[in-house]
Structures are given as C-alpha cells and as structure tokens.
Amino acid sequence: MAINLSKVTLEKQGDSHKIDLTKESGNAHTEITINLNWTQKTKKNGFFSGHFGGTQSIDLDLGCFYLLNDGQRSVIDGVQFSNGLGGPKERLTKQGRYTGIPWIWHTGDDRSGAGGENILVNPAGLSDLKRIVVYCFIYEGIAKWEETNAVVTIKVSGNPDVVVEMGKQYNSKKFCAIADVLIDSKKSITVKKLVSFYNGHSDCDKAYNWGINWTAGSK
C-alpha cells in the first residue's frame, strides 16, 4: 500500500484503508464519491479496418452491489437504466436514490471515459447501509484492462483519496469486483481491495452470495 498526503493507493489484493468521516470540519455531510475514470482508446479491428474505418472502442461501466442492515440488497450500474442519465436523485429508480434508501445514486453513464462515472453515497444514510461492493465491467470492446488505464477512486473530503488502479490488470474476463466498502459506523468506512474477475454479474453474484435474480440488460 502506497500512502502520501493526497492519496492512498491499495496495491495488493486484501490491502485496506479506513476513512475517517469526521475529518471534514464545518460540514456534517461528508459525501462519499466513487469515481471510475479511464482512457478511451480506439482499436482497429483486423487488417481491413484501416481501409474501411472499422474501429472498436472500450466502454467501461461503474456499478455497485449494496446491502442494507435490514437485509435489502440490489445492484446499481449503467446497464440497469436505459437512457444514460437515468432518473433524478430524489426519486427511486434503477440508478438508486440519494435522498432516501438506498442512499446511493449513480450520476449517469459515460461512454468516453472523458468525465468518468460517479456513484454518490449520502452520509445521511450510513446507519441504514452495511456494505457496498464496487465493481466495473467492460460493456463494449475486448477485455484488455491494461489498455484502459482505468482507475477507481473513493473520495471523502478531508481525507486522502483511496485509489485502485485497474489499468494494470491482465485478464480475459470482462467483469471485476474492485473494492469492498464496509460501513463501520457513521464515523468511518473501511475500503478493501478485491480486484477479482468474473464472467459477468451473475458469476460474481455466485462468488459473493449476493442472492439476486438476473435478467439480460442493455443500454
């Protein structure tokens, strides 16, 4: 694990870091931001692509599984809502809700990597939340993680960013469980690096026993 004043990089599987949610002075609302950013690279598909303009880009999606203290569980990601931006954060949709249960809201789909994708966690709901598993998957493009330069960053004001670098991975599977976020209390959370690969949502579900019924999705 590498630590400096601005960030903590979780380098090895199983590395963990506790984030103190009380460090932000003068603001009781210490919002938790989970960001996925990557470099959009366009790959040529075969010999003739150079002549006919055929290309293939890599589209990553950020998502999370969440578990509430009362046993409720579900997932939120870009495939779950179909129109890119999804619904407003005040109303419960397939991209979550910020102002009420589950207190987690996906801000919208990004297919370029230019702005990245963000999931916001409302600190007002930490007493309801028990666990969040952050994941990422390649929606379009071949599974070459090393070409994405993808980075997942968990940001809390007053604390160094917690970083998991996805762009250093070599794996042919398109779905990756990135980090386990355990809600210790209203005062702290613990982030643990997972970086384990699976053949999609349901395969990862079997590994972690989420217990969710899956149907095909698209965006």
Q: Does 133 reside within a domain? A: yes
CB 109 within 8 A of CB 117: yes
Q: Does 214 reside within a domain? A: no
More confident site: 183 or 214: 183
How does DSSP classify residue 117?
E
Bridge partner list, 195: none
pLDDT given for residue 69 in this prediction: 96
Give the Cα separation of 183 and 23 in Å (integer).
Answer: 16
More confident site: 111 or 36: 36
Q: What is the pLDDT of residues 164-203, one digit of tens each?
A: 987 777 888 989 999 999 999 778 999 999 999 999 999 9
Q: What are phi and psi of 109, to 5 degrees?
A: -80, 140
- Return the structure tokens found at 52: 């006919």
pLDDT given for residue 97 in this prediction: 93
Residues contacting residue 35 through CB under 8 Å, at least 6 positions apart: 62, 116, 117, 118, 152, 153, 154, 155
pLDDT given for residue 148 in this prediction: 83
pLDDT given for residue 146 in this prediction: 81
Residue 40 confidence (pLDDT) above 80: no
Residue 138 confidence (pLDDT) above 60: yes
Q: Does 82 reside within a domain? A: yes
User: What CATH number does the domain containing 44 carry?
Assistant: 2.60.60.30
Mean pLDDT is lowest, of 46-55, 99-108, 156-165, 182-191, for: 46-55
pLDDT given for residue 86 in this prediction: 59
Q: Does 75 reside within a domain? A: yes
Residue 84 confidence (pLDDT) above 70: no
Give the Cα separation of 30 and 214 in Å (integer).
Answer: 33
- Return the structure tokens found at 35: 């960001």
Give the Cα separation of 117 and 30 in Å (integer).
Answer: 19
Q: Does 217 reside within a domain? A: no
Q: Which domain holds residue 152?
A: 11-208
Residue 135 confidence (pLDDT) above 90: yes
pLDDT bucket at 28, cuts 50 / 70 / 90 = low
How does DSSP classify residue 92?
-
- Return the structure tokens found at 81: 């809502």
Q: Does 218 reside within a domain? A: no
Q: Does 67 reside within a domain? A: yes
Highest mean pLDDT among 50-59, 92-101, 132-141: 92-101
Angle at 11 between CA 29 and CA 155, to 5 degrees: 15
- Number of domains the chain is built from: 1
pLDDT given for residue 179 in this prediction: 96
Bridge partner list, 137: 61, 175
Q: Does 77 reside within a domain? A: yes
pLDDT given for residue 83 in this prediction: 53
